[in-house]
Amino acid sequence: MKTTCAGLVLGLLACVGVFAGCRGETLDVGSAPEAAAGDASGAPETWTGYIESFQLPSGGGDVTLTLSGPAAGTLVFGSGSPAPPTDASKGWPDGYRNDAAGKPVEGFAFALVDGHRTGERLTFSIAMHEPWKAWCELQTEVHPAETPWGDAYNCVPNTGTRTGAAGACGYGDGDGGIVPMECGKLELCAAHVCRCTAAGCTVDLARSPKKAFDIALAGDRASGTTPFGTIRLARRP
């Protein structure tokens, strides 16, 4: 009696179905295993705590670290979340002044960059310009302007920035005059937070200033070093 390849395959599949049914299990043929998440159970890890001697504009220094993988996740300073930018003519967040590369935006979920986890040691960085990606992409008015990275455009021309009476800001028009510009926007553009082309702007995370974290995770407690001070965390149940 001849047996075709198709018959053999159907027979094997039938056997698999019988054995799985006897055990009361459903066999998902061909499914890939789930990627490892924050801990051995596959659930994300959430750590909350503070940074010593560090104060956000709101007055606190709380931080929340969420690990969605061994060394992947987000870091949030403070609570809440900033309203998304909607006005290209003003700096963001509201009331922003000259903190683009220094202090983190409160409430923004920074993605962990270059994360590594070896045993109890977790290292990663955050890109300080990341929060301004959406704001930079609102900037449709660009100007020919050389930048330190060799770009040909920026959201403000490199004709010099000025602060006039009553704190008014602007940039030089090339003839000795001043073109008004809201101070927050002027400072962000002058700090080269955005990377612009003739078509518009965005944020280049590769060239953004980075802040590095080195944390020891020991059981349900963690501590380590950051550019802002010593970080101390506890794992949430």
- What is the reported pTM? 0.76
> What is the reported pLDDT for 163?
64
Question: pLDDT digits over 50-86, tens only?
Answer: 999 988 877 878 999 999 998 999 999 998 888 999 9
DSSP 8-state secondary structure symbol assigned to residue 108: -
Pair type for strands 45-51 and 113-118? unpaired
Looking at every residue in the chain, the average pLDDT score rounds to 80
Domain segments of the chain as ranges = 45-235
Q: pLDDT, tens digit, for every residue of 41-59?
A: 568 899 999 999 988 877 8
What pLDDT, on a 0 to 100 scale, did the predictor assign at position 98?
Answer: 59
DSSP state of 119: T
Decide if 110 contacts 208 (C-beta within 8 A).
no
The tokens describing 71, both together, are 């060394």
Cβ atoms 214, 41 nearer than 8 A: no
Predicted local confidence at residue 97, as pLDDT: 64
User: Is pLDDT above 90 for 109?
Assistant: yes
Extended beta strands in the chain, E state: 45-51, 62-69, 72-77, 109-111, 113-118, 121-127, 143-144, 153-154, 161-163, 169-172, 178-180, 195-197, 200-202, 210-218, 221-226, 229-235
pLDDT band for position 21 (cuts 50, 70, 90): very low
